[in-house]
């Protein structure tokens, strides 16, 4: 039987890696380091998935453009000091391995930097399963469709063959802008109601249900 989605593109933070709380904490601590007001958890969570400069300019609107490099350095200091402690969501390694074994083309489209994603792929051991990856410092940030366009071109697939899986409205809007179907997961950064408003093919509540849905429908 032909696969409905030969190519599966995953977001990383909040979809594969349980990192949303660490990202929020990093943004807050970086704000404190620069003597700026700390954003609310809701505001900090909203920017997960964006490129770092876009994320910080929204999360901390008081930040002067001249201070972006310092803010980025402090955020990376706080986040990278503990990223090796973060864990994948339950069942994700087994799901990725099984999807790869079934012949799916697997890719990552993430707001992380290349340095950050490479570290995450190495720590997780999942790098061997992914055929292509794109990061926010290599492309326009989500929801611009550039990451998906480049991945489709590299992997030789059409939009109808691709499913984007993510935990933020940025992921779902990027998919829509690229003409690609999207699957939402509500166990990451953005609330379920916000995700459902973007009309994904489904909204999945747990990592276990994500695995079951993909293995049955992809």
Alpha helices in the chain (DSSP H): 20-33, 41-46, 52-59, 68-80, 92-101, 114-124, 146-155, 169-178, 192-196, 207-217
C-alpha neighbours within 13 Å on the C-beta side of residue 144? 14
User: What is the C-alpha radius of gyration for the chain, rounded to an integer number of angstroms?
Assistant: 17
Q: Tell the burial category of 182 from Cβ atoms under 10 Å away from its Cβ (0-12, 13-18, 19+).
A: buried
- Spatial contact of 20 and 48, defined as CB atoms under 8 Å apart: yes
- Spatial contact of 45 and 34, defined as CB atoms under 8 Å apart: no
C-alpha neighbours within 13 Å on the C-beta side of residue 109? 34
Instruction: List active site positions.
Output: 11, 13
């Amino acid at each position: 039987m032909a696969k409905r989605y030969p190519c599966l593109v995953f977001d990383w933070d909040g979809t594969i890696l349980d990192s949303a709380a660490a990202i929020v904490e990093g943004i807050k601590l970086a704000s404190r380091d620069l003597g700026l007001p700390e954003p609310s958890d809701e505001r900090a969570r909203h920017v997960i998935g964006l490129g770092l400069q876009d994320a910080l300019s929204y999360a901390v609107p008081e930040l002067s453009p001249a201070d972006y490099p310092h803010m980025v350095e402090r955020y990376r200091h706080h986040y990278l000091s503990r990223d090796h402690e973060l864990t994948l969501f339950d069942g994700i390694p087994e799901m990725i391995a099984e999807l790869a074994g079934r012949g799916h083309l697997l890719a990552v489209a993430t707001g992380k930097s290349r340095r950050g994603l490479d570290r995450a792929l190495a720590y997780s051991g999942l790098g061997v399963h992914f055929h292509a990856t794109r990061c926010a410092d290599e492309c326009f940030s989500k929801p611009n469709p550039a990451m998906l366009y480049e991945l489709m071109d590299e992997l030789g697939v059409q939009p109808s063959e691709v499913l984007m899986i993510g935990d933020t409205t940025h992921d779902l809007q990027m998919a829509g802008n690229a003409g690609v179907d999207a699957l939402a997961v509500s166990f990451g950064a953005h609330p379920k109601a916000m995700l459902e408003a973007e009309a994904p093919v489904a909204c999945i509540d747990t990592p276990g249900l994500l695995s079951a849905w993909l293995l049955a429908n992809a």
